[in-house]
Amino acid sequence: MIRQNGKSVQKGLITLVVVALLATVLLPLTQLFAKAFYDRDGQRAFRAVALLPLFAPTMMHGIALTYLFGNQGLVTTGIFEMLPFSWDIDLYGPVGIILVEIVYVFPQAYLILVVSMAFADYQLYEESKTYRMKESRLRDTFFFLFCLAVSGFLLLLMATVVLASFIKVWPYDLSFGLQHYDFSNVAGEGMGPLWNSILVALITAVIGTAVTFVTAYVIEKTQVWRGLRQAGYFLSILPLALPGMVIGLAYIFFFNNPNNPFHGLYGTIWILVLANVIHFFAVSFITATTALKKLDPEFEMAAESMGISRAKVFWRVTVPVCTPAIIEMVVYFFINSLVTISAVVFLYAADFKLAAVSIVNMDDAGDVAPAAAMSVLIVVLNIFARAGAEWIAAKIRKRAAWTNQEKEQVA
């Protein structure tokens, strides 16, 4: 028994190392260099596809790999013996775990590297071309093909789930239909979980953004109680180190106690909102803090000398200037509240199920195609949310540029 446990731990560590190297370093770094060197219009498309897994429930990645590389998968069967070859990658084991972890962490690692590389001087690349080498068409072609391969694989995963959601009985009846989007006869229990998830996501986005931004403002802009502010900063970024499962279990032990004055929250929508706010607090807090650091501190000094209250400066100056960051925080809370499973799976009530949880329930009950259909609906909602945020941000940037142009003309 001890020897078997040791082998399991060893395999787990090897899998973790492979995932860490491939997903968090090699793949996104190569993608970034491709972006830096291959300066074409396709960069935006590559970036959009690289971030696409963020919009999907985590179960969707596993469902996609099953439909592609499972026992009845497209690749495993050679598209149901339509091709003269097939490929069995032995999905159920370390290979499948590595693949799904890479898909899950790749966009997050890519975003971190994008922010890091944004501070690098692009002129260094141009000077290296002048002094060391001419433009290498072979290099650019390699990077372009790499971006194309990574983006193609991610799109293939999404397209496979969409296809599976419309096929009647995989792999026996490949005709198309919409019956899998009728969740009333499966473990998903109708469209109710989706509407519940949207409601929870909206409330979380509003409350979470407000609480996070005010907290960041108090910690960043107030000059009193330095030790308390440092403790607040530490507690604000602490959720980064907490898995969602830990938050869910902690809330069960805390709120399920009948002697707890907050026991009334248990089994209601508000404990789900609270769990989501805490779970995704750290990233939004860092976003708000970064935006606040960019503000000119002379605003507060000038307002104080003129006798203007800090609250008025906050509403009239700080919030409008930080609006793009606030929009990003709203979208971040909304999207993650729709796709998360780890914390809320312990806290939802029997009469208030969520869409991401219903995907797990349907998959466990063997209703894989309806689970794929629910995943597609969540992805579509998140894409619309992201597109709406981009549209609002573009309007704000356009208005700011127009205002600055007017001021220059007056001057």
What confidence category does residue 1 fall into, taking pLDDT thresholds of 50, 70 and 90? very low
Q: What mean pLDDT comes out for the span 395-403?
A: 70
Query: What are φ and ψ of residue 159, in 5° steps?
Result: -65, -35
CA distance 177 to 223: 62
**pLDDT tens for each residue of 67-80:** 888 888 888 888 87
pLDDT of amino acid 19: 53
**pLDDT tens for each residue of 359-393:** 988 888 888 889 999 999 999 999 999 888 888 88
Residue with tokens 């689970």: 371
Strand partners, 352: 349
104: number of CA atoms within 13 Å, CB side? 18
Q: What mean pLDDT comes out for the span 42-70?
A: 84
Q: What mean pLDDT comes out for the span 128-139?
A: 60
Asked if the model's pLDDT at residue 47 lies above 70, the reply is yes
Nearest to 56 by CA among 164, 152, 162, 145: 162
pLDDT of amino acid 278: 92
Domain ranges of the chain: 2-177, 192-410
When mean pLDDT is compared across 22-36, 207-221, 314-328, the lowest value belongs to: 22-36
Question: DSSP string covering 110-179, please?
Answer: HHHHHHHHTTS-THHHHHHHHHT----HHHHHHHHHHHHHHHHHHHHHHHHHHHHHHEEETTTEEEE-SG
Strand partners, 176: 167
Rounded to two decimals, the pTM is 0.81
Asked if the model's pLDDT at residue 44 lies above 50, the reply is yes
Domain 192-410, CATH among 1.10.3720.10, 3.40.120.10, 3.30.70.100, 3.40.228.10: 1.10.3720.10
What confidence category does residue 103 fall into, taking pLDDT thresholds of 50, 70 and 90? confident
Nearest to 150 by CA among 92, 90, 107: 107
**pLDDT tens for each residue of 192-209:** 889 999 999 999 999 999
**pLDDT tens for each residue of 287-319:** 888 888 877 777 777 777 777 777 777 787 788
Q: Which amino acid is at 24?
A: T
Strand partners, 169: 173
What percentage of residues in the chain have a pLDDT greater than 70? Answer: 80
Average pLDDT, the chain: 79
pLDDT of amino acid 410: 47
